[in-house]
Amino acid sequence: MTKQEKVEFVINTLKDLYPEIPVPLDHTDRYTLLIAVLLSAQCTDVRVNQITPLLFAKADNPYDMIKLSIEEIKEIIRPCGLSPMKSKGIYGLSKIIIEKHNGEVPNTYEHLEELPAVGHKTASVVMSQGFGFPAFPVDTHIHRLMYRWNLTNGKNVVQTEKDAKRIFPKDIWNDLHLQIIWYGREYSPARGWDLEKDIITKTIGRATVLKDYYTKNKKALK
């Protein structure tokens, strides 16, 4: 299979598996999306979706958010982890959005990445899912799968994002990054991985990854 055939195989397989693509984080607008994505750092989407309704019941916009203290925000979001940093970030970015952006989430990478606790990945998700701007946010699932599929060298997420943008058509980035996330969770997880269910890796996977998998599983069967 050529590189281009592998890319097409990935696209077509994911399209068949996920014709309708749910967005992992519950939100109602760009501001609640931004907060949910920020909270998802080193936390599962399931946990975030349990906590955001509690937070948004008190403050689902920047004006109400700054009426809360950092300590109050921290107590609500504690189960998401990193609550000291995240609570300061949520309060701080809400203040900046009011003071510099008339209460609206900014629509450029430059302005998003200037916000406290907002890195490139968070900004990319907001640009993609909030504004419909072509973006390819790379999370741990995408980083892992792109390496397993031999579509990147996997050295870091910056390189993985560059490679993904280079090999996949721009007009499907926003759907594709979500499809890969869902696929990674369901068929190609980091732990408890069953290659027999992972049709993409089994078909186009990196030779060393496949070899390691079979070696480890042979040992486990002995």
Catalytic residue check, 121: yes
Separation CA 126–CA 23 (nearest Å): 12
Q: Which of 45, 139, 163, 198 is catalytic?
A: 139
User: DSSP state, 168?
Assistant: S
Cα 4 to chain centroid, rounded: 25
Catalytic residue check, 222: no
Separation CA 35–CA 38 (nearest Å): 5
Q: Which of 121, 197, 218, 219 is catalytic?
A: 121
Specify the 3-state DSSP secondary structure of 57: helix
**Whether the Cβ atoms of residue 10 and residue 169 lie closer than 8 Å to each other:** no
Separation CA 130–CA 31 (nearest Å): 9
Residues annotated as part of the active site: 121, 139
